[in-house]
Structure formats: structure tokens, C-alpha cells
Amino acid sequence: MGTAVKSWSAYRTNPLITWSATGALVLLPIQVLLGGLTVTQDLKPIIVTTHLGVATLILLCLLTTTLSSWIIETGGPKSNPERSEYDAPEKGGVEP
């Protein structure tokens, strides 16, 4: 929840960050529901597999949020100071 709120306040112009963080927030209650079903439905394979699939999607979303914002803040690995297109707009970067 905090990650999604912060993504909308600090990175509003970057749809990759805002929507990956929001995606994780939307998937979380589904995952909790599936976790409950995993228990009550005696580990039915389709439910356990979906539970694992949604967990993977949440991980993917949050990894995207983290890496995108890290690249914006630091310029990424071996960043070239001559190139500013990956910077936030207030640091001279180009709007996405």
C-alpha cells in the first residue's frame, strides 16, 4: 500500500513505476484469498498453482517498481553523466 501511494506521489509521470506498484496492490488481496483457499480446499493443485503464479506476478511487479525507481534515482549501473534521459524530469530528464 505504501509503495503504491509513494509511487503515485513521487513518480506520477512514470507509468511503469505507478502501474507496477498498483498492480502489486491489486494482486495482494487476490493472493490472500487464494492462500485461504489453499488451506480450506485441501491443497487442490489448481489453487496451489494459481497461488504460486500470483506470488510470482507480485514479485515481478515489485521488482519492476524497485529497479525503475532505482535507475531514475542513481542513473543505473555505470551511468554516464553525459546522458540524462533516464533522470527524473526535475533532474533534466525527458518526460516519459
Number of C-beta neighbours around residue 52 at 10 A: 12
Smaller CB separation from ligand HEM, 51 or 72: 51
Cα Rg of the chain (Å, integer): 17
Q: For ligand HEM, give the closer residue by CB, 17 or 58.
A: 58
Indicate the residue among 43 and 63 with the shorter CB distance to ligand HEM: 43
Which x/- pattern, by CB under 6 A, does the window 13-32 give for ligand HEM?
---------------x--xx
Contact assessment for residue 56 and residue 86, using Cβ atoms and an 8 Å cutoff: no
- Does position 57 bind ligand HEM by CB under 6 A? no
Instruction: Please state at what angle helix 45-74 crosses helix 15-40, rounded to 10 degrees.
Output: 160
Residue 35 is a binding residue for ligand HEM (CB under 6 A) = yes
Distances in whole angstroms, Cα of residue 27 to Cα of each of 14, 24, 41, 58: 20, 5, 20, 7
Residues that bind ligand HEM (CB under 6 A): 28, 31-32, 35-36, 38-39, 43, 48, 51-52, 55, 58
